Structure 1
Amino acid sequence: MHDVWETTVRFAETDAQGIVFYGEYVTYQDETFSQYLREVGYPWTEIEQENWDIHVVSVNIDYRAPAEFSDELVCGIRVAAIEESSLTLEWRCRRRDGPVCAEGTVTHVAVSDGETTRVPEGFRKAVRDYQTEPPEPV
């Protein structure tokens, strides 16, 4: 898993208990994925130019340890699987100085003109070339 996105917890991201509100981790995951796309050389603009899109269909997050205001977080991600029209990513968010705060998976489906489509070969190749451990199956 590559650490690709970092953030510092803002006060607005915390709840009444003073810890990161659970829903914020979905935003962290999304920001991490956007940065991952840039890292592999296949940013959102490339996806748009090729006339396809990726829609989230499933998110699963396990919460491990709290993060609080001003904690520095480091997030990693990898594509675990690429199917015909979907991809599943594994994601992890940890405090820079300590434990994993949250981890989980997110599944996206490739769509073009409102219909499910095959994940393009160019995207598959970019992922294979970037990751140390390639996704299954490709």
Structure 2
Amino acid sequence: MTHEFVFEDTVRIYDTDAQGIAHYASYYRFFTNTIEKYMKDKAGIPYPNVNDQLWFVMVETHAVYKRPVRLGDELTIMISPQVVSKKVIRFDLKILIKGNVTTEGYVTQVAIDPKVWRSVEIPEDILKRIAEV
């Protein structure tokens, strides 16, 4: 099951280069802020550290930049979380300005036990909250 969640953000001075265009690393700030807001506000899950036995860590990211975003641009970030397996969540993301897609990408995260730094299964109640919000 997939669904979308929308987050609004603004391109800040620290996101940009001398020409006022967002640096590529800033897009991952936009992605991460959106994931964090989704997990906390919609799924009701502390993020990225759920508890002492469960953390979410990034294992893969990807972005395609279709047009630049600039200082002061008001961004709409759309996120569609997907449960890939009992250990893996993928967040598909789109960044838009006034309805026009500027960037598309995804972030894949694995659940780990931070004490041993090994992947673990995400508890069923947490999987349901991520996928059925």
TM-score tier, shorter chain, comes to: 0.7 to 0.9
Alpha-carbon shift at residue 47 of structure 1 (Å): 1.3
Which of 99, 103, 119 is equivalent to 2:122? 119
Q: TM (normalized to structure 1)? A: 0.83
Matches within 5 A, 1:1-138: 1-38=3-40, 39-44=42-47, 47-48=50-51, 51-95=53-97, 97-112=98-113, 113=115, 114-130=117-133
Gaps of 5+ in 2: none
Alpha-carbon shift at residue 46 of structure 1 (Å): 7.6
CA 1:53 to 1:23, structure 2 compared with 1: closer, same or farther past 3 Å?
Answer: same
Once the two structures are superposed, what CA deviation does each residue of 1:2-45 show, in whole Å capped at 9, x if it has no partner? 34321111122111332111110011100000001021222328
- Across the aligned residues of Structure 1 and Structure 2, the Cα RMSD in angstroms comes to 1.8
Gaps of 5+ in 1: 131-138
Q: How many residues align?
A: 128
**Between 13-22 and 107-116, the greater mean CA deviation after superposition:** 13-22
Could you tell me the percent identity over the aligned residues? 27
Q: TM (normalized to structure 2)? A: 0.86
